[in-house]
Amino acid sequence: MFYIHNTTCISPQITFPEVDLDQLISCTENKFYTKEIPSTDIPPAILRRMGRAVKLGVVASIPLLKLQAQLNGIIIGSANGGMEDCIKFLNQIIDYEEGVLTPTNFVQSTSNAIASQLGFISKNQGYNITHVHRGLAFENAVLDVAMLLQENPKHTYLLGGIDEIADYNFNIEYLCGYIKKNSSNLDLYNSKTSGSIAGEGAAMFVINNKHEGAVSELKALKTIHTTNEKELVNVFEKFINDNLPENKTIDLFLSGENGDIRYEQYYKTIESVMNSNVSIAHYKHLSGEFQTASAFALWVSNYIIQTQKLPLNMLKKQTVKKNINTILLYNNYQGYQHSFMLLEKA
Amino acid sequence: MAKVFVTGVGIITSLGDSFEANREGLKEGQCGLGPLKNFSTKYANSLLFGEINLSDTQLKDLLNVKESGVSRTSLLALHAFNQAIVDAELSMDKISNAATALIIANTVGGMCLTDELYKDANQKNFGSEYIASYDCAATTVFLQKKFNIRGVVNTINTACSSSANAIMYGTRLIKNGYAERVIVGGTDALAKFTINGFNSLHILSSGLCAPFDNNRNGLNLGEGAAFLVLETEKNSLGKKRYAEVTGYANTNDAFHPSTLSENGTGPFSAMEKVLEQASLKPSDIDFINTHGTGTENNDVVESKAMIRLFKDKMPAFTSTKSNIGHTLGAAGAIEAVYCILNILHQEIYPSLNFKEPIVDTNLIPEQRYYETELKNVMSNSFGFGGNCSSLIFSKV
Amino acid sequence: MGTLELKQELKEKIIQFLNLIEVKPEDIKDDQPLFGEGLGLDSIDSIELIVLLDRTYGIKIKDPKEGRKILVDINTMVDYIEKNRTK
């Protein structure tokens, strides 16, 4: 599909600007926030209007914008882009009884606030879009970039997945039963309860068709909406048959399991149909759960391929130790939005 | 690359709840704008809205919706979706075929339930029936489940250009071989949220919006939904083909969060790129359904960009927002359906409320109904955040 | 409240209301244009300032065009506030 070049990631872990995944940062409650976001590179005139999600995306992108002067477009996946401002504006409507209201929150409340701010600060007049389809928002951004590169093979794009924990979307997700009452990332997979821990982050990627200088290559992507395990297995097997050559094997399966016992079965099922000598790792104890957590998964996979270091805390099942050149990523969001990605060393 | 044809449409706006009713309304120069009846807001009687004359209960009865937690945004979408699949003669098997994609654009989502969202966002104990229905993807997930859609499913939000981008994404899925059939649409219901939002920016008209008029003073908000079925050349063989999607372009003005740059860099390059993409010259365009919101900023900037591109050979143009108001995330899809009406019947509908041209640009929209030969029709959609998209539909 | 105190209060309110990071009240000169080259505010800010006048001083400005005459600099704003404030 395409090659991944430079990347950045802001997450609850030590990932920005330097990366140290051996040192596991833990959370003591059901909200797993990113570390303080440094914003020194953003002009004050722009910074003053930024909500936190926008700031996450912009701060993560700035190093890439500096490295890559020529970008042909900005493609973002974000389920809750401007949620914080959206609810601030909503509160104004009610609190001031539809009186005289300040427009800034409204303007920043649209999901595309991140992509448009990135376009604005980089003066990028190219393709600019925001995919907001919950647990497949980032996957659709990936597919969009893949198509853009089929259409414009010489172009380079900025791809990103960004979501934040805003008080209000947290509240709504909590009331929906997506989040555990009390939990820590340290015992996420052993909780035997429903829900997960809320996470957030921004993972940004410079993408093009050039093999030279690339870290990894995304070979394939498949998404499906289903709650039927049999259908999921069929989709998975077809995905592997169509995309993994016979002489290649999967070195690592990166599972999106999130400690929610209601959806554990999907991950177990996929693990069970996989070759038994595949190592298995997970990552939601690093990122927390959110709609675009698969962007973190793609970032961390790319990082593992680049460094050939798999942090011990990520390992679920180790088989024979060998180089990690092919990673299969599987994620599901709330049991009905599933995605598979196949990533290879470039 | 593969050709993409429109084989079915569905639409509901303040002009009517069908393709035919909308054509009649446009032809007669009807205006669907009036005071608001369906929910309470301070501005219900002081401003004018393109409201659909059916309550949520009436819509639920009409559509036989028994599930809880379905917002008006989703109800409008279901209505237009149902019409589109019947019009394109898609069987349930075809709809749930893995090669069928569903792409929906939306900006308001379940926030049309502004008061409920306020309670749910601040409530600590239990949520309302709408708790999982506020985001933009809620409508898409509702339709995906209802029709068991198994291909690519996506929701796009680029503010007011959203559904033009949904049509673009759907078209590209077919062209790039990721789908054979795409059901694509846009939907947005009127909401206390957007009414207060646009009001806070002082861009709501105190009366009827007057696109491209020198004394225009803002837009009217409207609501509605439209869906199109897009199919490959092969799958549409032997079926009616309303039009071919020949051009699509997305650019960014990269100037300001809520206003367009003075010279309309973004709008100009969207229109320039869409022509390039369709391999057409400016003189090949017979008609433009403009973005034409009626705000001070949009209409003069869009005019300047049009003049820069078409020079002294300006195609006929109108703004159908003068009939139904600005339907935000649904606007691109609704206006695409209107372009298809233009092409299907080879006719142009009057733009309303225009009196005198903008001094600087002097452009005059079409103000009467007439029949004429239309081969290529352009549709513009611009949104907050500098998003500018243009589409071209061509007669088959 | 004297004019000097009002000027100081207005500067503080503007900074707070528009979230002008790194700007201090003494950075804003009384006759420095608020928009364009001066303080660099834009059209959204002008609406924000109309809201500020409403919420803080009970001044209603219906037409943004009228606002442009008032929101020139601190001097013009203070002059207008002194003559028209209702709270």
Model confidence pLDDT, tens digit, residues B26-41: 999 999 999 999 999 9
**pLDDT higher than 90, residue B141:** yes
What are the chain C neighbours of A107 within 8 Å (beta carbons)? 44
Q: How high does pLDDT run on average in chain A? A: 93
Q: How far apart are CA A17 and CA A284, in angstroms?
A: 20
Question: Which residues in chain B have their CB less than 8 angstroms from residue A171's CB?
Answer: 120-124
Q: Do C43 and B257 touch (CB under 8 A)?
A: no
Which carries the bigger pLDDT value, residue B125 or residue B236?
Answer: B236
Instruction: Give the N- to C-terminal CA distance of chain B in Å, as an integer.
Output: 17
B129 to chain A, minimum CA–CA distance in Å?
A: 10
The residues, ordered by sequence, that sit 6+ positions from A18 with a Cβ below 8 Å of its Cβ are none
| pLDDT range class, residue A276, cuts 50, 70, 90 | confident
Question: pLDDT tens digits, residue range C16-27?
Answer: 989 888 889 999
The nearest alpha carbon in chain A to C58 belongs to A100
Kindly state the percentage of chain A with pLDDT values over 90.
Answer: 73
Least confident range from A130-134, B52-56, B327-331, C1-5: namely C1-5
Q: Reply yes or no on whether the pLDDT at C38 is more than 80.
A: no
C81 Rama class: left (phi>0) / alpha (psi -120 to 50) / beta: alpha
CB contact under 8 A, C51 and A44: no
Nearest CA in chain B to C64: B202
Q: Span B123-148, mean pLDDT?
A: 87
Can you give the pTM of this predicted structure?
A: 0.95
User: A105 vs chain B: nearest CA distance in angstroms?
Assistant: 9
Question: Domains in chain A, ordered, with CATH?
Answer: 2-208 (3.40.47.10), 216-345 (3.40.47.10)
Instruction: Report whether pLDDT(A229) > 90.
Output: yes
Q: What is the pLDDT of residues A170-186, one digit of tens each?
A: 888 888 889 998 888 98
Cis, bond preceding A43 (omega within 30 deg of 0): no
CB contact under 8 A, A124 and B252: yes
Which neighbouring-strand residues pair with B392? B247, B378
Write the CB contacts of A322 (distance below 8 Å, at least 6 apart in sequence).
A251
Of B202, B256, B257, the CB nearest to C47: B202
> In sequence order, which residues have a C-beta less than 8 Å from that of residue B20 and are 6 or more positions away?
none
Q: What mean pLDDT do residues B169-185 have? A: 98
Minimum CA–CA partner of C65 in chain B:
B202
Query: Which among A44, A102, A107 has CB closest to C22?
Result: A44
Longest dimension (CA), chain A: 67
What is the chain A residue with the closest CA to B124? A171
Kindly state the average pLDDT of the residues A143-157. Answer: 97
On whether any CB of chain B is under 8 Å from the CB of C54, the answer is no
Q: Tell me how many degrees the CA angle A37-A41-A45 measures, rounded to the nearest 5.
A: 100
Contact of B185 with B211, CB cutoff 8 Å: no
Chain C residues in contact with B201 (beta carbon < 8 A): 44, 47
CA–CA separation, A38 and A36 (whole Å): 6
Look at chain C and report how many structural domains it folds into.
1
> Is the CB of A8 inside 8 Å of chain B's CB atoms?
no
pLDDT-derived band of residue B20, with 50, 70 and 90 as boundaries?
Answer: very high
Q: Which domain holds residue C12?
A: 3-84
On the question of pLDDT at A319 being above 80, the answer is no
pLDDT at position C64, please?
72
> Given a contact as 3+ CB pairs under 8 Å, which chains touch B?
A, C
Which residue has better confidence, B56 or B124? B56
Q: What is the pLDDT of residues B143-164, one digit of tens each?
A: 999 999 999 999 999 999 999 9
Pairing of strands B287-289, B316-318: parallel
- Give the model's pLDDT for residue B266: 94
Distance CA B165, CA B173 (A): 12
User: Cβ contacts (< 8 Å) between C15 and chain A: which residues?
Assistant: none
ipTM: 0.96
pLDDT digits (tens, 9 = 90+) for B75-101: 999 999 999 999 999 999 999 999 999
Per the CB < 8 A criterion, the answer to whether A9 and A299 are in contact is: yes
Tell me the per-residue pLDDT of A31-70, one tens digit each, with 9 for 90 and over.
999 987 887 788 888 888 888 899 999 999 999 999 887 8
Q: In chain B, positions 209-248, which contact chain A (CB-CB < 8 Å)?
A: none
In tens, the pLDDT along B219-228 reads 999 999 999 9
Q: Which residues of C touch B202 (CB under 8 A)?
A: 47, 64
Q: How would you label A34-64 residue by residue, b for 16+ Cβ within 10 Å and e otherwise?
A: beebeeeebeeebbbbbbbbbbbbbbbbbbb
Residue A320: pLDDT band (50, 70, 90) is: low
Nearest to B200 among C42, C43, C47 (CB): C47
Nearest residue in B to C51, CA atom: B200
pLDDT exceeds 90 at position B126 = no
Q: How confident is the model at residue A29 (pLDDT cuts 50, 70, 90)?
A: confident
CATH number of the domain where residue C46 is located? 1.10.1200.10
**A102 — contact with chain B (CB < 8 Å)?**
yes
Average per-residue pLDDT in chain B? 95
Q: Which CATH superfamily is domain B1-396 in?
A: Thiolase/Chalcone synthase (3.40.47.10)
Asked if C58 has any chain B CB less than 8 Å from its own CB, the reply is no
Q: Provide CB contacts within 8 A for A272, sequence distance 6+.
A: none
How does strand A279-282 pair with strand A252-255? parallel
pLDDT given for residue A343 in this prediction: 98
pLDDT digits over B302-341, tens only? 999 999 999 999 999 999 999 999 999 999 999 999 999 9
Q: What is the pLDDT of residue A51?
A: 86
On whether any CB of chain B is under 8 Å from the CB of A111, the answer is yes
Q: Is A320 on the interface with C (CB under 8 A)?
A: no
pLDDT recorded at residue A83: 79
Chain C residues within 8 A of B259 when measuring between CB atoms: 43
CA–CA separation, B133 vs A327, rounded Å?
Answer: 35
Contact A103 C19 (CB under 8 A): no
How many CB pairs below 8 A link A and B? 192
pLDDT band at B274 (very low <50, low <70, confident <90, very high): very high
| Mean pLDDT for the stretch of residues C52-65 | 87
Please tell me the predicted confidence (pLDDT) of residue C68.
82
pLDDT of residue A45: 80
φ/ψ of residue B60, rounded to 5: -60, -40
B215 interface with C at CB cutoff 8 Å: no
Residue A333 burial (10 A CB sphere; 0-12, 13-18, 19+):
buried
Residue A220: partners with Cβ closer than 8 Å, 6 or more residues away: A1, A239, A242, A243, A340, A341, A342
